[in-house]
Amino acid sequence: MTGNAEIALACASLLADELARGGVEDVCVSPGARSTPLALAVARHPRLRVHVILDERSAAFFGLGIAKATRRAVALVCTSGTAAVNWHPAIVEARYSQTPLIALSADRPPELHDTGANQTIDQRGLFASAPLWFFEMPVPAIEDDSERVWRSVAARAVAVAAGPPAGPVHLNLPFREPLAPSAEIPDLGSGREGGAPWERHSPAALAADAHPIEDLARLIEAARDGLIVCGGLEDDAPSILDLAERIAWPLVAEPQSGLRRDGALSAPQLILDRIDPSVVLSVGAPPTSRATRALLGRAGRVVTVDPSRWNDPDRRSSWTLRADAALLADALIATIKPREDRAWIERWRAADAAARDAADTLMDSWDEPFEGRVARDVARAVPAGGLLAIGSSLPVRDLDTFMAPREDVWVIGNRGASGIDGFVSTVLGIAQTGEPTVGLMGDLTFLHDAGSLAWLASRAKPAVLVVEDNGGGAIFDLLPQGSIREADDLFVTPHELSIEAIARAAGCRTRRVTRAADVAEAVAEAVAAGETTVVHVECARTAGPPRRAEIAAAVAHVTK
Ligand SMILES: Cc1ncc(C[n+]2csc(CCOP(=O)(O)OP(=O)(O)O)c2C)c(N)n1
Ligand SMILES: [Mg+2]
């Protein structure tokens, strides 16, 4: 007999089918009874890939990693209660990094709320302002409009998550018992013809209109001594390199922009404090490093470019231009003649090359691993076409300072909210693309999400996790907190935990590196092994700060 379980699965199947029609391919499911209709619907759909992950926090970060690497929305499924609350950090990261996620939380039906019913909490608006859209589904029922309601909500969830701006969506889905089907599932409709989505969605064009482009072109032409600063970008925008070349402005590209390639400065962080540009074009996410932020503070004028965000934490911008970076660069290239006077860009290119050379020579003379060189060498060791997931804290800053230009590696970080949480899961999610994936992270970042490794190491496609073990949060040694009497207890938190023992307990291969020169080979060997491998790099905590000072002194000397 058709009862609640069969009706719920029929409705959930409409939802699952519409997600697949909208381009969703991966669903991260965590076990639980209330979500039975959702779990069965996605698992029985021929085109959805289901990843079953015990810990919802890990599941959400794993899905986040897949979504970051594929730019396709990933769906999450879990049961009612605290289960869904564990998604929150990844949903926040998705919001601030514009990553498409569709969170499907199962719930008790309305009549069980506020009665003391088991595992029942108020899930409406659970993620506060983080989702781009929250919607409470009706309890499944067979009505004339069942197909329209379930398919159109799913189609809209995919459209909102895809953006622009992309981001997370939360659907809360109450189900009434019984939940496990035992009879035939009713067919509530087969959707639009030809497998088309229920509703086509055409987002507004993101090209800036002609007037601001003309104004910006004149501003650029008038400034001989400008600079382009490019933070993280979601999409490939190589025309920014062409623009920089044409207008003869140096390009300061963070690795996550995908533009740290030939033509961009190679080690801009080492020389930025000497540049005083009259105009800065700031593209993509706001800069990670203090030096770049200080540069924006000194610039005569800052123009910010982004399709939707207000990327101006220090309130330096005098013009926010709503445009897609690549489209804007194309439009400017079509409007601006190549600049003949190249003295400004050549001067900074020469300083940049000298700084890069001095830093490399010095770092190569050190035998013990130093975090800056580890970042440089790991970035070099990722195979062509591979992905480099970069952890927050020192790794992301060191990569920005020391990564040499490369165009065949894609760098992804959790820089929307810059948490150190969920990073192991994110790296393994990124690895589900099947491309070689290397994650570089600090020891605390690894430990924060070590539990996820136990579950995922044997289930997910492999990744290489490079852990810089410097005995705690070494970044605090470089911050004012490092000189507080309680610095070790409250901030750095040194520990006696064995990274390798934890990795082995999770079933991973391990490799210990104690010599700086071995990092690249260890990464290459781990990639080739095709099994999830933790490369444990021992970095002496006390060695870092004096080495950073030595590099600064060497660079100051050659570029004076
Ligand atoms: C979820 C979360 N908790 C706390 C912080 C604050 N935090 C920033 S860096 C850091 C230390 C990271 O240590 P580690 O991963 O070892 O990197 P290292 O500083 O040694 O490079 C902490 C705790 C954060 N960013 N995110
Ligand atoms: Mg550390």
Atom of ligand 1 nearest to the CA of 391: 15
pLDDT of residue 196: 96
Atom of ligand 1 nearest to the CA of 395: 21
Q: Is the CB of 551 under 6 A from ligand 1?
A: no
CA distance readout (Å), 298 to 255, 314, 456 = 23, 11, 47
Which residues partner with 51 through β-bridges?
28
> Which of 1, 4, 37, 2 lies closest to 111, judged by CA?
4
Lowest mean pLDDT segment, chosen from 164-178, 205-219, 460-474:
205-219
Q: What is the mean pLDDT of residues 55-61?
A: 98
Q: Is the CB of 393 under 6 A from ligand 1?
A: yes
The three-state (H, E, C) secondary structure of 167-189, written as one string: CEEEEEEECCCCCCCCCCCCCCC
Q: Is the CB of 442 under 6 A from ligand 1?
A: yes
Residue 536 has pLDDT above 70, yes or no: yes
pLDDT digits (tens, 9 = 90+) for 14-37: 999 999 999 999 999 999 999 999
Please, what is the end-to-end C-alpha distance for the chain in angstroms? 84
Burial of 286 (0-12, 13-18, 19+ CB in 10 A): buried
% of the chain with per-residue pLDDT over 70: 99
Q: How far apart are CA 122 and CA 423, in angstroms?
A: 28
Pocket test of ligand 1: the residue of 425, 441, 465, 475 to mutate, having most ligand atoms within 8 Å of its CB, is 475
pLDDT of residue 559: 73
Q: What is the mean pLDDT of residues 513-521?
A: 98
Pocket test of ligand 1: the residue of 64, 88, 444, 536 to mutate, having most ligand atoms within 8 Å of its CB, is 444
Rg (CA), the chain: 25
- CA torsion sign, 423 to 441 to 474 to 256? negative
Which residues partner with 441 through β-bridges?
467
Dist. CA 448 → ligand 1 center (Å) = 9
pLDDT of residue 265: 98
Q: What is the mean pLDDT of residues 413-439?
A: 97
Q: How far apart are CA 206 and CA 212, in angstroms?
A: 13
Q: Is the CB of 473 under 6 A from ligand 1?
A: yes
pLDDT of residue 201: 87
Q: Is the CB of 320 under 6 A from ligand 1?
A: no
Sole residue written with tokens 């050549």: 346
pTM of the predicted protein model: 0.97
Pocket test of ligand 1: the residue of 392, 423, 468, 539 to mutate, having most ligand atoms within 8 Å of its CB, is 392
pLDDT of residue 205: 62
**Long-range residue pairs from 236-240, CB within 8 A, at least 24 positions apart, any chain:** 236/326, 237/283, 237/324, 237/325, 237/326, 237/329, 238/326, 239/326, 239/329, 239/330, 239/333, 240/283, 240/325, 240/326, 240/329
Ligand nearest to the CA of 420: 1
Indicate the residue type of 140.
Answer: P
pLDDT of residue 207: 61
CA nearest ligand 1 atom 22, residue: 473
Q: Is the CB of 97 under 6 A from ligand 1?
A: no
pLDDT of residue 519: 98
pLDDT of residue 347: 97
Which residues are CB-contacts of 150 (< 8 A; sequence separation ≥ 6)? 11, 14, 15, 18, 137, 188
- CA torsion sign, 438 to 442 to 445 to 451? positive
pLDDT of residue 209: 67
pLDDT digits (tens, 9 = 90+) for 198-238: 998 887 765 656 778 999 999 999 999 999 999 999 889 99
CA distance readout (Å), 423 to 245, 415, 419, 472, 527 = 36, 11, 8, 16, 19
Dist. CA 73 → ligand 1 center (Å) = 28
pLDDT of residue 208: 58
pLDDT digits (tens, 9 = 90+) for 292-319: 999 999 999 999 999 888 989 999 999 9
Q: How far apart are CA 248 and CA 342, in angstroms?
A: 6
In the predicted model, what is the mean pLDDT of the chain? 96
Dist. CA 446 → ligand 2 center (Å) = 9
pLDDT digits (tens, 9 = 90+) for 245-263: 999 999 999 999 999 999 9
Q: How far apart are CA 12 and CA 38, in angstroms?
A: 6
pLDDT of residue 528: 98
% of the chain with per-residue pLDDT over 90: 94
Atom of ligand 1 nearest to the CA of 469: 16
Atom of ligand 1 nearest to the CA of 394: 21
pLDDT digits (tens, 9 = 90+) for 380-416: 999 999 999 999 999 999 999 999 999 999 999 999 9
pLDDT of residue 557: 86
> Which of 231, 342, 313, 225 lies closest to 275, judged by CA?
225
pLDDT of residue 554: 96
Q: What is the mean pLDDT of residues 79-103?
A: 98
Strands (E) in 407-550, as ranges, are: 409-413, 437-442, 464-469, 509-513, 533-538
Residue 190 has pLDDT above 80, yes or no: yes
- CA torsion sign, 75 to 76 to 79 to 80? negative
